[in-house]
């Protein structure tokens, strides 16, 4: 199979999946948005279509990658992500026949890009031509001759924006309380009246204040004794 034949196979897959006419899924070249004075460039998009209703319209784009054996890699998904942003598409889909590397899957999951594997049916035979009309005609003939079997098989690698699995809750180790071998230390609190008494009755050579201590009296805690230490 050639790349243009695979692109038409993917067009048929999307038409069936979205239940929209085949001709509404176009292959287009979209000009980029550039600043004045800078050169223009264009985005070649394999498959481009819109869905919606009277409330809103949604733009979709898809890239069809026919491969011999190698999988679609991270840089190709990053490029599709960039094109999606530049053309303001709501949804981007990467389609291939071989699969995706771990890096490609990671980018797609973080960027909301769908990944699908579409493979041609082993019994599918297409004419050796690049004429898109002839390729579509051959696909339609196959479907008409085999109503119970599609000219492709597919599997969903990632739909994008699926709800993630619940994050594992971090278990904090319990805070150990005072051991029986080490008795707890408790700060003794002196009533305000006692503090004033201590400052008034301060002996010679002692400065009056909260920190003043009379001989024989218990230590006065600094800071007014607002709480106990544990």
Q: What is the pLDDT of residues 86-129, one digit of tens each?
A: 999 999 999 999 999 999 999 999 999 999 999 999 989 898 88
**Domain presence at residue 163:** no
Q: Give yes or no: residues 213 and 131 share one domain.
A: no
Residue 212 belongs to domain spanning: 192-222
Predicted TM-score of the model (pTM):
0.67
- Give the pLDDT confidence score for residue 218 in this predicted structure: 55
- Give the pLDDT confidence score for residue 196 in this predicted structure: 47
Q: Which of 158, 181, 201 is the last residue of a domain?
A: 158
Structure letter (DSSP) for residue 182: S
- Give the pLDDT confidence score for residue 55 in this predicted structure: 92
**Alpha-carbon dihedral of residues 47, 52, 58, 64, nearest 10 degrees?**
-20
Q: Give yes or no: residues 27 and 93 share one domain.
A: yes
Listing DSSP states for 60-118 in one string gives EEEEEE--SSPPB-HHHHHHHHHHHHHTT-SEEEEEESS-B-HHHHHHHHHHT-EEEEE
Neighbours of 58 (CB within 10 A): 12
CATH number at residue 106: 3.40.1350.10
**Domain presence at residue 106:** yes
Sheet strand arrangement including 152-158: 26-31, 42-52, 57-65, 91-96, 114-120, 152-158
- Give the pLDDT confidence score for residue 19 in this predicted structure: 93
Q: Give yes or no: residues 39 and 145 share one domain.
A: yes
**Domain presence at residue 66:** yes
Q: Give yes or no: residues 152 and 202 share one domain.
A: no
Q: Which of 103, 132, 158 is the last residue of a domain?
A: 158
Domain count, the chain: 2
pLDDT digits (tens, 9 = 90+) for 124-151: 989 888 899 999 999 999 988 877 778 9
**Domain presence at residue 180:** no
- Give the pLDDT confidence score for residue 26 in this predicted structure: 95
Q: Give yes or no: residues 80 and 150 share one domain.
A: yes
Q: Which of 102, 136, 158 is the last residue of a domain?
A: 158
Given CA atoms 53, 54, 58, 60 in this order, what sign does their dihedral have?
positive
User: Number of helices and strands (H, E) in the chain?
Assistant: 5, 6
Q: Give yes or no: residues 196 and 119 share one domain.
A: no
**Domain presence at residue 205:** yes
**Domain presence at residue 63:** yes
For the chain, which residues score pLDDT lower than 70? 162-230
- Give the pLDDT confidence score for residue 75 in this predicted structure: 97
Q: Give yes or no: residues 132 and 197 share one domain.
A: no
Q: Give yes or no: residues 138 and 78 share one domain.
A: yes
Q: Give yes or no: residues 28 and 133 share one domain.
A: yes
- Give the pLDDT confidence score for residue 35 in this predicted structure: 77
**Domain presence at residue 172:** no
């Amino acid at each position: 199979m050639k790349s243009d034949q695979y692109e038409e196979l993917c067009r048929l897959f999307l038409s069936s999946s979205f239940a929209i006419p085949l001709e509404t899924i176009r292959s287009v070249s979209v000009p980029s948005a550039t600043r004045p004075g800078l050169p223009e460039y264009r985005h070649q998009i394999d498959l481009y279509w819109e869905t919606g209703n009277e409330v809103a319209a949604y733009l979709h784009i898809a890239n069809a990658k026919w491969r011999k054996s190698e999988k679609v890699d991270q840089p190709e998904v990053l490029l599709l992500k960039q094109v999606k942003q530049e053309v303001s598409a709501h949804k981007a889909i990467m389609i291939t026949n071989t699969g995706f590397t771990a890096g490609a899957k990671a980018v797609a999951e973080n960027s909301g890009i769908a990944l699908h594997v579409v493979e041609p049916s082993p019994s599918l035979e297409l004419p050796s031509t690049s004429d898109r009309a002839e390729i579509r005609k051959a696909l339609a003939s196959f479907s008409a001759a085999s109503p119970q079997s599609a000219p492709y098989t597919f599997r969903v690698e990632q739909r994008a924006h699926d709800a993630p699995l619940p994050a594992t809750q971090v278990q904090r180790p319990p805070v150990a309380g005072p051991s029986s071998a080490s008795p707890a230390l408790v700060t003794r609190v002196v009533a305000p009246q006692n503090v004033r008494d201590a400052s008034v009755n301060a002996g010679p050579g002692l400065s009056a204040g909260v920190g003043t201590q009379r001989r024989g009296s218990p230590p006065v805690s600094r800071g007014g004794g607002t709480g106990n230490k544990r």
